[in-house]
Structure 1
Amino acid sequence: MFGIGTTELLVVGIVVLVLFGNRIPQTMKSLGVGLAEFKKGINSNTDAEA
Protein backbone atom coordinates (compact mmCIF):
# COMPACT_ATOMS: atom_id res chain seq x y z
CA MET A 1 0.00 0.00 0.00
CA PHE A 2 2.04 2.93 -1.33
CA GLY A 3 5.21 1.46 0.19
CA ILE A 4 3.94 2.06 3.75
CA GLY A 5 4.42 -0.86 6.09
CA THR A 6 2.53 -1.91 9.19
CA THR A 7 5.11 -0.35 11.50
CA GLU A 8 4.85 3.04 9.81
CA LEU A 9 1.05 2.96 10.02
CA LEU A 10 1.26 2.06 13.70
CA VAL A 11 3.64 4.96 14.41
CA VAL A 12 1.41 7.41 12.53
CA GLY A 13 -1.64 6.13 14.43
CA ILE A 14 0.09 6.60 17.78
CA VAL A 15 1.18 10.14 16.84
CA VAL A 16 -2.38 11.01 15.80
CA LEU A 17 -3.74 9.65 19.09
CA VAL A 18 -1.22 11.66 21.11
CA LEU A 19 -1.87 14.89 19.22
CA PHE A 20 -5.63 14.66 18.76
CA GLY A 21 -6.70 12.14 21.42
CA ASN A 22 -8.82 14.57 23.42
CA ARG A 23 -10.71 15.79 20.33
CA ILE A 24 -11.55 12.40 18.83
CA PRO A 25 -14.75 11.78 20.87
CA GLN A 26 -16.14 15.23 20.00
CA THR A 27 -15.32 14.72 16.35
CA MET A 28 -16.96 11.29 16.24
CA LYS A 29 -20.09 12.63 17.97
CA SER A 30 -20.34 15.49 15.47
CA LEU A 31 -19.83 13.06 12.61
CA GLY A 32 -22.58 10.79 13.95
CA VAL A 33 -25.04 13.68 14.35
CA GLY A 34 -24.22 14.92 10.85
CA LEU A 35 -24.68 11.46 9.37
CA ALA A 36 -28.03 11.05 11.13
CA GLU A 37 -29.22 14.41 9.78
CA PHE A 38 -28.02 13.46 6.30
CA LYS A 39 -29.92 10.14 6.41
CA LYS A 40 -33.04 11.91 7.70
CA GLY A 41 -32.82 14.40 4.83
CA ILE A 42 -32.35 11.64 2.26
CA ASN A 43 -35.29 9.66 3.66
CA SER A 44 -37.59 12.70 3.71
CA ASN A 45 -36.59 13.52 0.14
CA THR A 46 -37.41 10.01 -1.11
CA ASP A 47 -40.71 10.04 0.82
CA ALA A 48 -41.71 13.32 -0.86
CA GLU A 49 -41.06 11.87 -4.32
CA ALA A 50 -43.20 8.78 -3.77
Structure 2
Amino acid sequence: MGLGVGSMVVIGLVALLIFGPKKLPELGKAAGSTLREFKDATKGLADEEDDTKKKQADQQ
Protein backbone atom coordinates (compact mmCIF):
# COMPACT_ATOMS: atom_id res chain seq x y z
CA MET A 1 0.00 0.00 0.00
CA GLY A 2 2.49 2.59 -1.21
CA LEU A 3 1.98 6.01 -2.63
CA GLY A 4 1.11 6.03 -6.29
CA VAL A 5 1.76 8.74 -8.83
CA GLY A 6 -1.75 10.13 -8.43
CA SER A 7 -1.37 10.40 -4.68
CA MET A 8 1.97 12.16 -5.05
CA VAL A 9 0.42 14.70 -7.46
CA VAL A 10 -2.44 15.41 -5.05
CA ILE A 11 -0.02 15.86 -2.15
CA GLY A 12 2.09 18.22 -4.27
CA LEU A 13 -0.94 20.29 -5.28
CA VAL A 14 -2.17 20.55 -1.69
CA ALA A 15 1.31 21.63 -0.54
CA LEU A 16 1.39 24.20 -3.35
CA LEU A 17 -1.97 25.60 -2.27
CA ILE A 18 -1.01 25.73 1.40
CA PHE A 19 2.53 27.14 1.15
CA GLY A 20 2.50 28.93 -2.21
CA PRO A 21 4.94 28.77 -5.10
CA LYS A 22 7.59 30.97 -3.45
CA LYS A 23 7.82 29.08 -0.16
CA LEU A 24 7.63 25.53 -1.56
CA PRO A 25 11.24 25.33 -2.90
CA GLU A 26 12.58 26.60 0.42
CA LEU A 27 10.63 23.93 2.29
CA GLY A 28 11.89 21.23 -0.08
CA LYS A 29 15.48 22.34 0.38
CA ALA A 30 15.11 22.39 4.17
CA ALA A 31 13.50 18.95 4.19
CA GLY A 32 16.26 17.55 1.98
CA SER A 33 19.07 18.91 4.13
CA THR A 34 17.37 17.65 7.29
CA LEU A 35 16.97 14.19 5.79
CA ARG A 36 20.64 14.18 4.69
CA GLU A 37 21.81 15.13 8.20
CA PHE A 38 19.62 12.42 9.74
CA LYS A 39 20.97 9.77 7.36
CA ASP A 40 24.57 10.83 8.07
CA ALA A 41 23.97 10.67 11.83
CA THR A 42 22.36 7.23 11.70
CA LYS A 43 25.15 5.96 9.43
CA GLY A 44 27.68 7.16 11.99
CA LEU A 45 25.87 5.30 14.76
CA ALA A 46 25.76 2.11 12.71
CA ASP A 47 29.49 2.40 11.95
CA GLU A 48 30.27 2.84 15.66
CA GLU A 49 28.18 -0.22 16.52
CA ASP A 50 30.01 -2.29 13.89
CA ASP A 51 33.38 -1.14 15.27
CA THR A 52 32.33 -2.08 18.82
CA LYS A 53 31.21 -5.55 17.74
CA LYS A 54 34.45 -6.07 15.82
CA LYS A 55 36.57 -5.06 18.84
CA GLN A 56 34.60 -7.42 21.08
CA ALA A 57 35.06 -10.28 18.61
CA ASP A 58 38.81 -9.58 18.38
CA GLN A 59 39.16 -9.66 22.18
CA GLN A 60 37.55 -13.09 22.46
TM-score range, shorter chain: 0.5 to 0.7
**Structure 2 match to 1:16:** 17
State the superposition RMSD in angstroms: 2.8
Greater gyration radius: 2
- Provide the rounded CA distance (Å) in 2 between the counterparts of 1:21 and 1:34: 21
In the TM superposition, residue 24 of structure 1 has moved relative to its aligned partner by 0.3
Structure 1 unaligned residues grouped into runs of 5+: 1-9
Structure 2 unaligned residues grouped into runs of 5+: 1-9, 51-60
| Deviation >4 Å, runs of 4+ | none
**Structure 2 match to 1:45:** 45
Letter in 1 for 2:44: S
Equivalent residues, number: 40
User: Per chain length, whose mean CA-contact separation is higher, i.e. which structure has more relative contact order (CA < 8 Å, sep 6+)?
Assistant: 2
